């Protein structure tokens, strides 16, 4: 064929590719292996009808037609696969439940979803400075401030009333719905001191002291090892010293260990640097009062008059200096919150980042695309080389906010540099707790080529989290976030390139905590992104999507049966697992047609792979490939029954997909789809030739062929026209093998496939894999050393793939996601073994969670 296109070599021009002639004549001479017999095929191809009315003359010299059909059909040991567990009864039962679920969703849930979306959008649109719950600790510090008129009264008497009104029944102050004894004692000690300073509410004071004495030993048990932060140890020790000076009996000897830790912590603080540049110590100046030069420290005051947005720290500075800007900040704060103070304010940056992260974690972000853009635009306006803190006035970056911001901004196409991590590292904020380290680890995976800081952050965070998991020690973070351990374990086991986002959505829905608490000096709540409406919407949306996915399974199963594939005994029947792998990353309802096409193409790929790999003879492989090149039905009489089923299934399905693409795109892309399958089978035939000749090719030649034979290009390019977006050729050429993106998708999949299957294939007599080819050129290396290099090469390629996925350009996100998420599926499937070959039972629980069991 004069205009046959080898897309994987990138040798054709766009103009040439779609200028198909009306008809052409061709003759193909195919040399078969046995006795060098010659098959000559002359054909007149009608390109307009894409081969439906081709005229063929077949001359098969010296070979009986039956001889080819009965030639040996096993080139090597047959693979043994576990049978599918998703029988027709299962599919039928899912379909029955699905029909009822869809009716209910249409009748009852759509209006509720619309209402919830509107309410959550309103939250996004009215965030302003951020909403945050009260802190008894910080309120107590404001309550200490004497009246500026010289009277012996508090400047903010309403804070004293708040304190007396909010003592809990056990005598403590703090968050009622979580009992973290160290947090309760710190809050209680601060409130008791303030009430004592004003010589008021002695009953409240006594009840508070009783609580502290009762729970002192429990607190010390809780705070062993890494149970507390440096910040807590600093401020708590200062509170103890003040209580002692006021004559309060809190059994301070019970807390000697924490006092000892403060001394060790003080040795890590540079007093000179503390007064020269903004550091995190500004947030807890009340904990280092003995080393602060109060006049000099005013040089590091934020524009709003605060010290790192901390009411307690700012109140402490005011008590030492009488600074008017400090007082103005505190007065403005109480004008908003009336009678109490939060632990930090404003929290506009933190709230916006967590709100976006929240809707994405719950899988409902598609309802809020405009709101997400406006929110991230706000964050980006306040982003600088230092990173970001809790609020726009923060002069010191926060590790959690900066890491989350860097990750989200990059994922949404903002041009942000990883150099912000240099500032976090310089400020020694890498010493955060497990929640901070998890944020840093997740951020570090959105890295681009040659980003040293991201690699360092990834290695450091991974080491910290692994050690934390193994230590099994108490953590204040864990006491607040019950699901933290499981989330960290999943993040370590399935990094960003190897996880299924929709499974994480299910996990977050099941572990979502309404009224989620967070930890700084004390526990706090940010209600704008943790109320029950988020959870309700996520559940409704998940179940709605699940009902649609169940309908798709029914359709795909019918197609599979109608093609006759169920009758094939030599292949893996994995249509349910394939649909799962597509839907779990591309779950949105608007991609239904794309998912179905994706599943059909992938199912065909597995069947043809098994046919070529171990079932068909070498001659049959060559003849089947020739039939695909001709796109002709007359060769069917030379096929075995299994080959006929495979060929007709391929032929009819690709033609059907071509018709669907014609309607969706308004142009005929069937010639393109045919060329994709022709390239695939040509590459597979090349591997069959190597196997037949026991030939191990050079690495470069192997990789060039293997990135096509892995088959992902066929899956992607047969479904990409059905995403709902126009796909002109100027975009298509950036998504197929004419550009690096698809090359990297297929390369990373092939590397992991070979890594997990080469030993089994070697045992079956197959000699061609990346490992064998590399070993031929580097005989001094062991298999383990080659695998190590392979994994490094794969990791570098994934980093390049991330850049291709996120780089700024004109390619719509749906196309980029289809390619990138296909790579993620491959990394997951081959994470520990040949996923579709032997892990059907391992995937059962995941598939049940995603496709079968609704969220309740």
Residue 381: how many other CB atoms lie within 10 Å: 9
**Mean pLDDT computed over 353-379:** 97
pTM of the model: 0.87
Return d(Cα 284, Cα 290) in angstroms, integer. 13
What tokens were used for 511? 């572990």
Range in 118-132, 341-355, 820-834 with the lowest mean pLDDT: 820-834
pLDDT tens-place string over residues 277-310:
998 999 999 999 999 999 999 999 999 999 999 9
Secondary structure class of 15 (helix, strand, coil): helix
Q: Please spell the DSSP secondary structure of 457-514, one letter per residue.
A: HHHHHHHHHHHHHHH----HHHHH-TTHHHHHHHHHHS-GGG--HHHHHHHHHHH--T
Residue 4: how many other CB atoms lie within 10 Å: 12
Band of residue 51 on the pLDDT scale cut at 50, 70, 90: very low
Q: Among 328, 352, 333, which Cα is nearest to 344's?
A: 333
Asked if 834 and 756 touch (Cβ cutoff 8 Å), the reply is yes
What tokens were used for 187? 């809050």
pLDDT tens-place string over residues 384-426:
988 999 999 998 989 999 999 999 999 999 999 999 988 777 6
Return d(Cα 806, Cα 788) in angstroms, integer. 27
The helix (run of H) or strand (run of E) holding residue 25 is: strand 23-31
Give me the domains of the chain, ranges plus CATH numbers. 7-84+572-852 (1.10.600.10), 136-337 (1.50.10.160), 355-531 (1.50.10.130)
Question: What are the φ/ψ torsions at residue 384 (nearest 5 degrees)?
Answer: -145, -175
Asked if 365 and 372 touch (Cβ cutoff 8 Å), the reply is yes
Residue 35 has pLDDT above 60, yes or no: no
What is the rounded radius of gyration, in angstroms, for the C-alpha atoms of the chain?
A: 33
Return d(Cα 50, Cα 53) in angstroms, integer. 8
Asked if 200 and 250 touch (Cβ cutoff 8 Å), the reply is no
- pLDDT value, residue 830: 87
Question: What are the φ/ψ torsions at residue 42 (nearest 5 degrees)?
Answer: -110, 135
Secondary structure class of 75 (helix, strand, coil): coil
- pLDDT value, residue 61: 38
**Mean pLDDT computed over 347-373:** 97
Per the prediction, the chain carries an average pLDDT of 86
- pLDDT value, residue 69: 46
- pLDDT value, residue 832: 73
pLDDT tens-place string over residues 701-734:
999 999 999 999 999 999 999 999 999 999 999 9
- pLDDT value, residue 836: 55
- pLDDT value, residue 390: 95
Asked if 294 and 323 touch (Cβ cutoff 8 Å), the reply is no
What tokens were used for 49? 């009808």
Band of residue 451 on the pLDDT scale cut at 50, 70, 90: very high
Band of residue 89 on the pLDDT scale cut at 50, 70, 90: low
- pLDDT value, residue 265: 87
**Mean pLDDT computed over 633-644:** 92
Band of residue 58 on the pLDDT scale cut at 50, 70, 90: very low
Instruction: Give the distance between the most distant pair of CA atoms in the chain.
Output: 118
Residue 170 has pLDDT above 80, yes or no: yes
**Mean pLDDT computed over 38-67:** 37
Asked if 837 and 572 touch (Cβ cutoff 8 Å), the reply is yes
Return d(Cα 680, Cα 611) in angstroms, integer. 14
- pLDDT value, residue 222: 79
Higher pLDDT, 22 or 347: 347
What tokens were used for 548? 């649609």
Return d(Cα 323, Cα 295) in angstroms, integer. 10
Residue 27 has pLDDT above 80, yes or no: no
Asked if 389 and 401 touch (Cβ cutoff 8 Å), the reply is yes
Asked if 441 and 494 touch (Cβ cutoff 8 Å), the reply is no
Residue 759 has pLDDT above 50, yes or no: yes
149: Cβ contacts below 8 Å, ≥ 6 apart = none
Range in 155-159, 170-174, 290-294, 422-426 with the lowest mean pLDDT: 422-426
pLDDT tens-place string over residues 814-851:
999 999 999 999 998 888 765 554 455 667 888 888 99
**Mean pLDDT computed over 525-548:** 93
Residue 674: how many other CB atoms lie within 10 Å: 19
pLDDT tens-place string over residues 179-192:
999 999 999 999 99
**Helix H segments across 223-347?**
230-245, 256-266, 271-276, 294-297, 311-321, 324-337
Range in 233-242, 253-262, 354-363 with the lowest mean pLDDT: 253-262
- pLDDT value, residue 21: 29
739: Cβ contacts below 8 Å, ≥ 6 apart = 733
Secondary structure class of 309 (helix, strand, coil): coil
Band of residue 85 on the pLDDT scale cut at 50, 70, 90: low
- pLDDT value, residue 44: 39
pLDDT tens-place string over residues 762-790:
887 777 899 999 999 999 999 999 999 99
Return d(Cα 570, Cα 80) in angstroms, integer. 9
Question: What are the φ/ψ torsions at residue 416 (nearest 5 degrees)?
Answer: -125, 140
Band of residue 25 on the pLDDT scale cut at 50, 70, 90: very low
Asked if 329 and 305 touch (Cβ cutoff 8 Å), the reply is yes
Asked if 480 and 517 touch (Cβ cutoff 8 Å), the reply is yes
Asked if 427 and 397 touch (Cβ cutoff 8 Å), the reply is yes
Asked if 628 and 673 touch (Cβ cutoff 8 Å), the reply is no
**Mean pLDDT computed over 599-628:** 90
Residue 59, strand partner residues? 40
Residue 856 has pLDDT above 60, yes or no: yes
Residue 254 has pLDDT above 90, yes or no: no
Half-sphere exposure of 543 (CA within 13 A, CB side): 24
**Mean pLDDT computed over 149-169:** 96
Distances (CA, A) of 445 to 459, 816, 818: 10, 18, 19
Higher pLDDT, 34 or 485: 485
pLDDT winner (highest mean) among 219-233, 440-454, 459-473, 507-521: 440-454
Long-range contacts of residues 36-44, Cβ cutoff 8 Å, at least 24 apart: 37/61, 37/62, 37/63, 39/63, 39/623, 39/626, 41/626, 41/630, 43/630, 43/632
- pLDDT value, residue 106: 60
pLDDT tens-place string over residues 651-680:
999 999 999 999 999 999 999 999 999 999
β-strand 517-519 against 523-525: which pairing, if any?
A: antiparallel
Return d(Cα 815, Cα 476) in angstroms, integer. 43
The helix (run of H) or strand (run of E) holding residue 454 is: helix 452-471
- pLDDT value, residue 835: 55
Band of residue 223 on the pLDDT scale cut at 50, 70, 90: confident
Half-sphere exposure of 170 (CA within 13 A, CB side): 16
Residue 40, strand partner residues? 29, 59
């Amino acid at each position: 064929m004069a205009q046959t296109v080898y897309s994987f070599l990138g040798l054709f021009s766009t103009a040439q590719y779609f200028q198909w002639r009306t008809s052409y004549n061709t003759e193909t001479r195919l040399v078969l292996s046995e006795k060098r017999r010659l098959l000559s095929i002359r054909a007149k191809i009608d390109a307009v009808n894409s081969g439906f009315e081709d005229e063929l003359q077949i001359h098969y010299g010296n070979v009986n037609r039956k001889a080819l059909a009965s030639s040996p059909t096993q080139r090597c040991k047959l693979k043994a696969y576990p049978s599918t567990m998703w029988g027709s009864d299962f599919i039928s039962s899912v379909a029955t439940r699905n029909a009822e679920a869809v009716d209910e969703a249409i009748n009852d849930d759509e209006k509720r979803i619309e209402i919830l979306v509107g309410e959550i959008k309103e939250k996004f649109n009215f965030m302003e400075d951020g909403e945050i719950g009260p802190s008894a600790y910080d309120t107590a510090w404001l309550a200490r401030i004497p009246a500026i008129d010289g009277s012996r009264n508090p400047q903010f008497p309403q804070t004293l009333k708040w304190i007396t009104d909010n003592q809990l029944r056990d005598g403590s102050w703090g968050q009622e719905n979580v009992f973290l004894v160290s947090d309760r004692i710190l809050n209680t000690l601060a409130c008791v001191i303030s009430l004592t300073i004003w010589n008021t509410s002695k009953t409240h004071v006594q009840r508070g002291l009783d609580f502290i004495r009762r729970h002192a030993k429990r607190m010390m048990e809780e705070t062993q090892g890494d149970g507390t932060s440096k910040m807590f140890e600093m401020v708590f020790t200062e509170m103890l010293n003040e209580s002692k000076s006021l004559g309060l009996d809190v059994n301070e000897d019970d807390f000697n260990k924490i006092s000892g830790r403060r001394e060790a912590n003080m040795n890590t603080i540079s007093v000179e640097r503390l007064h020269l540049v903004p550091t995190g110590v500004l947030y807890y100046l009340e904990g280092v009062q003995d080393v602060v030069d109060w006049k000099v420290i005013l040089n590091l005051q934020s524009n709003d008059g605060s010290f790192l947005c901390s009411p307690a720290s700012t109140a402490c500075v005011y008590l030492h200096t009488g600074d008017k800007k400090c007082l103005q900040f505190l007065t403005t704060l109480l004008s908003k919150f009336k009678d109490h103070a939060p632990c930090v304010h404003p929290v506009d940056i933190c709230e916006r980042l967590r709100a976006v992260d929240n809707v994405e974690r719950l899988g409902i972000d598609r309802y809020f695309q405009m709101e997400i853009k406006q929110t991230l635009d706000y964050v980006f306006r306040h982003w600088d080389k230092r990173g970001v803190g809790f609020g726009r006035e923060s002069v010191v970056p926060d590790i959690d906010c900066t890491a989350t911001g860097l990750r989200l901004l990059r994922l949404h196409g903002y041009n942000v540099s990883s150099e912000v991590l240099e500032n976090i590292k310089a400020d020694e904020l890498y010493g955060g707790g497990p929640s901070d380290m998890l944020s840093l680890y997740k951020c570090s995976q959105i890295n681009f080529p040659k980003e040293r800081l991201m690699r360092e952050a990834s290695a450091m965070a991974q080491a910290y989290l692994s050690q934390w998991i193994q230590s099994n020690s108490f953590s204040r973070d864990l006491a607040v976030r019950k699901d933290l351990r499981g989330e960290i374990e999943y993040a370590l086991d399935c990094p960003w390139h190897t996880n299924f986002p929709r499974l994480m959505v299910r996990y977050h829905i099941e572990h979502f905590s309404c009224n989620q608490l967070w930890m700084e000096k004390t526990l706090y709540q940010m209600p704008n992104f943790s109320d029950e409406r988020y959870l309700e919407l996520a559940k409704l949306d998940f179940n709605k999507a699940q009902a649609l996915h169940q309908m798709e399974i029914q359709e795909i199963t019918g197609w599979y049966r109608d093609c006759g594939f169920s009758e094939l005994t030599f292949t893996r029947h994995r249509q349910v697992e394939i649909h799962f792998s597509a839907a779990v990353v591309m779950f949105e309802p608007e991609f239904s047609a794309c998912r179905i096409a994706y599943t059909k193409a992938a199912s065909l790929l597995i069947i043809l792979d098994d046919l070529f790999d171990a079932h068909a003879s070498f001659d049959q492989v060559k003849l089947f490939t020739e039939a695909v090149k001709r796109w002709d039905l007359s060769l069917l009489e030379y096929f075995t029954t299994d080959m006929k089923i495979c060929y007709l299934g391929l032929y009819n399905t690709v033609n059907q997909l071509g018709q669907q693409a014609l309607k969706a795109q308004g142009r005929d892309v069937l010639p393109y789809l045919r060329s994709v399958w022709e390239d695939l089978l040509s590459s597979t035939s090349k591997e069959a030739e190597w196997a037949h000749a026991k030939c191990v090719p050079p690495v470069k030649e192997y990789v060039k062929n293997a990135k096509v034979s892995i088959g992902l290009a066929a899956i992607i390019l047969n479904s990409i026209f059905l995403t709902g977006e126009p796909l002109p050729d100027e975009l298509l050429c950036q998504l197929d093998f004419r550009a690096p993106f698809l090359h990297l998708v297929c390369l990373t999949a092939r590397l992991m496939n070979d890594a997990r299957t080469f030993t089994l294939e070697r045992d079956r007599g197959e000699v061609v894999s990346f490992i064998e080819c590399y070993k031929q050129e580097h005989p001094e290396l062991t298999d383990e050393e080659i695998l190590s290099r392979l994994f490094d090469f794969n990791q570098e390629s994934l980093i390049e793939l991330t850049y291709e996925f996120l780089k700024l350009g004109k390619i719509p996100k749906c196309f980029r996601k289809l390619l990138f998420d296909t790579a993620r599926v491959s990394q997951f499937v081959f994470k520990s073994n040949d996923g579709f070959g032997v892990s059907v039972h391992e995937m059962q629980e995941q598939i049940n969670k995603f496709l079968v069991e609704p969220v309740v």
